[in-house]
Amino acid sequence: MAWLPAYVGLGSNLDNPPARVRDALAALAGLPSTRLELRSRLYDSVPLGRPDQPDYCNAVAALLTQLAPEELLAGLQALERGLGREPPVERWGPRVIDLDLLSMGELRVASGSLQLPHPGIAQRAFVLFPWRELAPHYVVPGLGAVSALAARLPPDAARALA
């Protein structure tokens, strides 16, 4: 298979979130037939789910991979388990680590286990702001350029950490 760009969103709001995100970024480099090319700064954002949970630490990683989308997703899920993620109790609830396959080249996938591009990207500053650092001109299939999508969101919706 040819090398394809893939973008992964990372998030944590439990057990020292910045350390959890950094651990996950390091773990991405160990995926087979995949290279970690770039990583964004860390960002702080309010949770999507119930408001009585801690804020999230987020980042985006740029990969080059020869894996099929389902193989890459399986690899990300295995990394999550290895990093201590438990099965979610609630949607958008607190978690030690979350790895989301955001987009992969120009692919569009809609299956029971995977949707590419990841749903909700256009409304998520915690994804778009760090992604804009890495690939502002990347065109998310069916949505537009990352920088244009990010420009539509309030500038204070997520903030870079030092």
Residues 96-117: tens digit of each pLDDT: 999 999 999 999 999 988 999 9
Active-site pick, 20, 23, 100, 124: 100
Overall domain count for the chain = 1
Task: Reply yes or no: is the peptide bond before residue 130 cis, omega within 30 of 0.
Answer: no
Instruction: Look up 100 and say whether it is catalytic.
Output: yes
Tell me the C-alpha distance between 114 and 70, whole Å.
Answer: 7
Active site residue 85: yes
Q: Report the CATH number at residue 62.
A: 3.30.70.560
* pTM across the whole model: 0.94
Do 5 and 138 form a contact (C-beta atoms < 8 A)? yes
Token pair for residue 131? 């992604």
Q: Encode pLDDT of 36-92 as tens digits.
A: 999 999 999 998 877 788 999 999 999 999 999 999 999 999 999 999 887 765 676
**Among 39, 85, 124, 132, the one annotated catalytic:** 85
Catalytic residue among 98, 108, 132, 152: 98
Annotated active-site residue 52? The verdict is no
Q: Which domain holds residue 60?
A: 4-160
Asked about 95 being catalytic, the answer comes back as yes
Residue 49, pLDDT score: 74
